[in-house]
Amino acid sequence: MATIPVFPKFKKIEIDDKDIITDFFLKYPSDISELTFTNIFIWRKHYGTKWSVYKNWLFLIFNTISSSGGLMPVGPAPRVEPTRVLLDYLKESGEKNPSIQRADKRFAEEIKNPSLFVIEPSREYFDYVYLSKNLIELPGRKYHSKRNHIKKFQESYSFSFERFKEEYTRECEEIADKWCKTNRCEDDLDLLGERCAINEILLHFPKLNIFGGVIRINNRVEAFTFGENLNKDTGVVHIEKANPDIPGLYQVINQKFAEDAFSSLEFINREEDLGMEGLRKAKGSYHPSFFIEKFKINSVV
């Protein structure tokens, strides 16, 4: 039975906390990709994420070598009070420039008060959101190259798309290891963090209640992906990895998973680009319908 940490006490996130934390997200849904239990859980080791409950609000804080702060309080409006409380707590904990990061536009507008807060957009964290039918059908000239990649792949390989099963875990780990080696994860803490997140989602898949899919070629997994419903209109893709030596594989698993998991939803959120030029180009090539803007919030000194 999970215990609820009452502010100012914080605790590390555990799998048994899922129901309590998810309940906050369901009662007060947001469009940002961070606010699912799966996301904060699989990244908890990388970000050192902890949680607490202050009155009617869920607090989430994080601390890494390069960044620390909190996510926006999850709970009922108005949220000026919990925002000030959280920022004061971070400052008293030794943060020189305490901030709330990756806050959505609704929250930023809700607490807007120049005498209290400095609010700035964080482009590197904007979520890319696509029409589901576009990722499934790849219609028109703008998706011509995607269709070509898929056609060449289909002509070259006999393959199957299947829903993820636990028996595919080891093969998925091998794909992740190959991706990590190709991208030199040992030189990048964020990539190492992603590799850890993949381990966590594979290890805890049955308890996370999410969707998973794989592409198998010659009875072997060569690509895998995981996602879930973010809200009533939108699905979110958390993880997507493919054998980099097989052209067209990323395009195929993107399309097949969108069709299998999210065809009944209007939109698919494929998360942010983290300011990485290659990732920004790749996400842009699928022509997002719009972005979910996110903001950094500091107290006025």
Residue 71: CATH number of its domain? 3.40.630.30
Q: Provide the percentage of residues in the chain whose pLDDT is more than 90.
A: 93
285 found inside a domain: no
The reported pLDDT for the residue numbered 1 is: 67
- Are 225 and 103 within 8 A, CB to CB? no
Question: Model pTM?
Answer: 0.96
Three-state SS for 79?
coil
Is the per-residue pLDDT at 274 higher than 70? yes
pLDDT digits (tens, 9 = 90+) for 231-242: 999 999 999 999
288 found inside a domain: no
Q: Are residues 18 and 35 in the same domain?
A: yes
Question: Residue with structure tokens 């054998």?
Answer: 243
Q: Are residues 260 and 156 in the same domain?
A: yes
Determine the average pLDDT of the residues in 116-135.
98
Task: Show the tokens assigned to 253.
Answer: 């698993």
Q: Is the dihedral of CA 170, 172, 173, 177 positive or negative?
A: positive
Q: Which candidate, 22, 12, 87, places its Cα nearest to that of 52?
A: 12
235 found inside a domain: yes
Q: Are residues 69 and 135 in the same domain?
A: no
Is the per-residue pLDDT at 66 higher than 80? no
Single residue among 65, 99, 126 that ends a domain in this structure: 126
pLDDT digits (tens, 9 = 90+) for 171-192: 999 999 999 999 999 898 889 9
Domain containing 44 equals 11-126
280 found inside a domain: no
Q: What are phi and psi of 233, to 5 degrees?
A: -110, -15
